[in-house]
Amino acid sequence: MEWSPIWISIKTAACTIVVVFFLGLAAAKLVADRKSEKTKMILDGILTLPMVLPPTVAGYFLLYLFGVKRPIGMFFLSYFGIKIAFSWGATVLAAAVISFPLMYRTSRGALEQVDENLIYAARTLGFSEWKIFFRVSLPACMPGIASGAILAFARGLGEFGATAMIAGNILGKTRTLPLAVYSAVSAGDMETAGNYVMVIVLVSFLAVVFLNFLTGKERRSRRGGGRR
């Protein structure tokens, strides 16, 4: 069994979650702070779109934008010497776009569930809005945000369609675990495909267990706070 797809997938998922965590959290705060419901609906629709689109369609748009003969792709290639399409960076780009909505929606839901009385109390104490966010809102909703990060990590690890479109299936460079499973099955090597599947299932199962641990801990802390 070739080990490079495992290593590439781990690197891709790790880099993806770093990018998606901060972008998703920032987008969640941006939308949650909007006063207009229409504005919220429009922004939410745009930011959630990659989650409902078929991954190959998302990959098509990425390839259209970041291909070597497309505007953004040409810009990076001409001015920075960076080729985005069919590179390892493209696997991160594809995984980030597809997993971003999970991080965004989970974070937004967590932020909107923060007790408003805590925010009002912080304002009466003279806290700035950013200080309220970092000192009050963020700690209160951290379990929900962490849950979104775990889901985004697992989704990035299992991304297939968009990755195949923008990054290709290059052994040792862009072939992630899902692509390795597809390649092994296409070649009739069911044993190798089964080994890769076991790795994906194991990592996904551990992610779900950790997610259940966090949500269970959050429920227990809420019940404890209610009793007090």
Per-residue pLDDT of the chain (228 residues; tens, 9 = 90+): 788 999 999 999 999 999 999 999 999 999 988 888 899 999 999 999 999 999 999 999 999 999 888 889 899 988 888 899 999 999 999 999 999 999 999 999 888 888 888 888 888 888 888 888 888 888 888 888 888 888 899 898 889 999 999 999 999 999 999 999 999 999 999 999 999 999 999 988 988 888 787 766 666 655 655 554
Please tell me the distance from the alpha carbon of residue 21 to that of residue 167, in angstroms, as a whole number: 22
Q: What is the pLDDT of residue 135?
A: 85
pLDDT at 221: 58
pLDDT given at position 91: 95
Please tell me the predicted confidence (pLDDT) of residue 147: 85
- Residue 108 and residue 33 in contact, taking contact as beta carbons nearer than 8 Å: no
Q: Which of 89, 96, 72 is nearest to 174 (CA)?
A: 89
Two structure tokens written together for 43: 């922004």
Of 112, 99, 98, 96, the closest CA to residue 31 belongs to 112
| Res 105: pLDDT | 93
What CA dihedral angle connects 204, 213, 18 and 42, to 10 degrees? 90
Distance from C-alpha of 168 to C-alpha of 179, rounded to nearest angstrom: 9
Model pLDDT, residue 217: 61
What pLDDT was estimated at residue 114? 84
